[in-house]
Structure 1
Amino acid sequence: MSESTEVMFPDILWAQRPEVVLLTVPLQDAGNVVVEVREGRLLHFEAVSGGQRFRCDLELFREVESEESRHVTLPRQIEIQLRKKQAPKTSTDTEVDECRVWPRLIRDKVKNSHIQVDWSRWRDDDESEEDFNGMDGMGYNDLMAQMMSQKLDNPDSELMQGEVMGNDWQEPKDTSPDNGDDSCDDLPPLEQ
């Protein structure tokens, strides 16, 4: 497949932590990936995926540390981590907060339909790691897998007897108006 001469703006998902901004560019099997931070505030991105060229230059909301920022190309996406530039030690609390929490990814207040918040990776400043991991570092999926394996290991368990998560499982009730009569008897035969 030959490369298209038209260059497209890639979709970008973003989230933040107090120290970093996390970007995900969902391009499958991307090649020729170029990610640069210029002058501490301009993010340059280029890649080729499926024969299509993608490129964008974004003026970020605040400066980032270009030397400490990095990216990785995965089979289904490119993940970029931008280290936020910290406020000087003589800054006020308000200035420190403004450096830690960005209200948007880019400097312009104009809405870009290709830039979306990645709510699956978003974490507010006041939320801790424990809020997301829960139960001594075990995630929800791990908890459910452990519960299911315990229930399946014990064939006499409530789950195997029809009880699911504390609620009694019941057969669906027949709500048809015919009350068990076969109402298909009066239908004419299908034409051939």
Structure 2
Amino acid sequence: MSGEEQALPPSVMWAQRNNLIFLTICLEDCKNPEIKIDNDKVYFHGLGGTEKKNHEVTIELYKEIDPEKSVKCIRDRNIELILKKKDENGPYWPHLMKDKKKYHWLKVDFNKWKDEDDSEDDVGQSEDLEEMMRQMGGLGGGGDSKPSFNDLEPESDSDDEELPDLE
């Protein structure tokens, strides 16, 4: 192998709402990645994955976003970005990127995807993107969201009965 190794694009998943784009960069153990969110593109560079390889990608977006209102959350298993569309009530984008080419590293995130004509849920309608990240499991600090089992009454269980002696 020669000096500089070619950076690979990481696996990226995306979904959208009328006012948002969800981008998930699927790269484990990526410490201190370089992420630049501009009004027409997203740049990512980081070292990670099981083999600690160099990953880099520039995503030229279909339309403009508002970088000031966009949020990023770096986790152990991935990096999540919520990009606020410039045209907040605009139509769904027909594709994520400016060009219509298909990329092997770019996939639709069906867990977050909602069709344009579906009724909206909690995620995606809130103006507070940080609260939205908390709802999705990002940014930590769930507050009092842990379930309480104090109200449950103990029930008799067959496991509680004594076992007969062995013969």
Q: Same fold judged by TM-score > 0.5? A: yes
Question: Within 5 A, what are the aligned runs for 1:94-105?
Answer: 99-105=90-96
Matched, 1:117 2:108: yes
Residue 41 of structure 1 is matched in structure 2 by 40
Q: Deviations over 1:15-63 (max 9, x none)?
A: 001111001111111112122123x102111111042111111110000
Residue 56 of structure 1 is matched in structure 2 by 57
Residue 140 of structure 1 is matched in structure 2 by none
Residue 82 of structure 2 is matched in structure 1 by 81
| Rg larger in structure | 1
Q: Deviations over 1:109-149 (max 9, x none)?
A: 111111100011101233234599xxxxxxxxxxxxxxxxx
Report how far residue 154 of structure 1 moved. Answer: 8.4
Residue 16 of structure 2 is matched in structure 1 by 16
Report how far residue 13 of structure 1 moved. Answer: 0.3
Say whether the 8 Å CA contact 1:23–1:79 is kept in structure 2.
yes
Higher relative CO (Cα under 8 Å, sequence separation at least 6) belongs to 2
Question: Within 5 A, what are the aligned runs for 1:165-176?
Answer: none
User: What code does the residue aligned with 2:93 have?
Assistant: W
SS at match of 2:115: coil
Residue 91 of structure 1 is matched in structure 2 by none
In structure 2, the gaps of 5 or more residues are: 124-151, 158-167
Q: Which of the two has greater helix per residue?
A: 1
Say whether the 8 Å CA contact 1:28–1:75 is kept in structure 2.
yes
Say whether the 8 Å CA contact 1:42–1:60 is kept in structure 2.
yes
- CA distance change for structure 1 residues 101 and 52 in 2, over 3 Å: closer, same or farther? same
The CA distance in 2 between the partners of 1:36 and 1:127, in whole Å, is 31
Aligned length: 124
The CA distance in 2 between the partners of 1:154 and 1:128, in whole Å, is 44
Residue 128 of structure 1 is matched in structure 2 by 119
- CA distance change for structure 1 residues 85 and 113 in 2, over 3 Å: closer, same or farther? same
Residue 28 of structure 1 is matched in structure 2 by 28
Calculate percent identity across the aligned residue pairs: 30
Residue 72 of structure 1 is matched in structure 2 by 73
User: What code does the residue aligned with 1:72 have?
Assistant: C
The CA distance in 2 between the partners of 1:45 and 1:101, in whole Å, is 24
- CA distance change for structure 1 residues 126 and 65 in 2, over 3 Å: closer, same or farther? same
Residue 7 of structure 2 is matched in structure 1 by 7
Say whether the 8 Å CA contact 1:84–1:100 is kept in structure 2.
no
SS at match of 1:43: strand
Normalized against structure 1, the TM-score is what? 0.57
The CA distance in 1 between the partners of 2:121 and 2:78, in whole Å, is 27
